Amino acid sequence: MMFRLFLVPFIFLLVGLVVQETNGQYYKKVGNKIFPFSTIVVDQSGNGHFSTIQSAIDSIPFYNTNWVAIRVKAGIYREKVVIPQNKSYIILKGAGKRKTIVEWYDPDGPERSPTFSILADNIHVRCMSFRNSYNNPINGNRKLRAVATTVSGDKVNFFRVAFYGYQDTLYDANGRHYYKLCTIQGAVDFIFGAGQSLFERCSISVIGGGFITAQGRESPNDTNGFVFKDCHIFGNANTYLGRPWRPYARVLFYKTNMTKIVEPSGWDSWSPDGREDLSTYAEYGNFGPGADTSKRVSWAKKLDLSTVENMANLNFINTPEEWINYQPF
């Protein structure tokens, strides 16, 4: 009922604006800017439509085809949040990475532990943080897999979003994803999965010795992989750039600032079995004291500039015509 009540006054605000439809998804357009068709406000103080993020998501109809924005006011929201598979076209927007924080405490593995799970396609998230507080901040707990965010929907966009954990922080499971100006913090395999994802101008914060990536490409014909472009790797412990979760793991670091915490060998084989050459681990145009490749493992790949530029591009995850509104709203 609450969802219906706030839609009525909102419709009158549309007078004089252009409402367009693309592939069945409605949005407002003002000049060159695109806005959602409707907005829900979440405020813990009671001055919004809902006081929890999950209740706002629950209010959106199944098989929704209109862009809906959920504006989350500043605060620490202690709840598990799930966007189910049949609720697409949602924009989740906070007040800032340091102001809107979603937090939960759960070490129950990658399937059950996530603080935030995106199972639907066409989701945009911006200006907020997600934390699994079991090992973050570091405490006396046993180090276990505790996921801050799982992303298994297609065409998912993150802008100025932070993910905090220790082991398995960001489960970039499946689908095409774009991360821009985001922060990912962790220690062991803290960006992992079989997503087809571009991380642009992101901060990779290492809080314990381990591995930044554990990519899960299973076949040479799979299109997935992780590309880091214009990023910054820093922290307080030595780290490897990655190790293969699956045999054909693919990761590229491009024009990234690597501080001295990066291990000279760069990459780890996880369990040496003579198949290390199946993976595609590559670096190109990086800088900083950790970017020296003279002591890298022998099975690291040297890609030509044309291949690198094709990967370090939005075309790696989509074509702009196919994925409308890939830029944040």
Backbone angles phi, psi at 275, to 5 degrees: -110, 20
Task: Supply the DSSP symbol for 141.
Answer: S
- Report the distance separating Cα 48 and Cα 96, nearest Å: 18
Q: Beta partners for 182?
A: none
CB 152 within 8 A of CB 118: yes
Q: Beta partners for 62?
A: none
Give 149-203 as a DSSP string: EEE-SSSEEEEEEEEE-SBS-EEE-SSEEEEES-EEEEEEEEEEES-EEEEES-E
* 180's tokens: 């821009």
- Report the distance separating Cα 159 and Cα 231, nearest Å: 14
Burial of 55 (0-12, 13-18, 19+ CB in 10 A): middle
* 166's tokens: 């220790």
Active site residue ranges: 189
Q: From 86, 156, 147, 153, select the one nearest 111 (Cα to Cα).
A: 147
Q: From 150, 204, 146, select the one nearest 177 (Cα to Cα).
A: 150
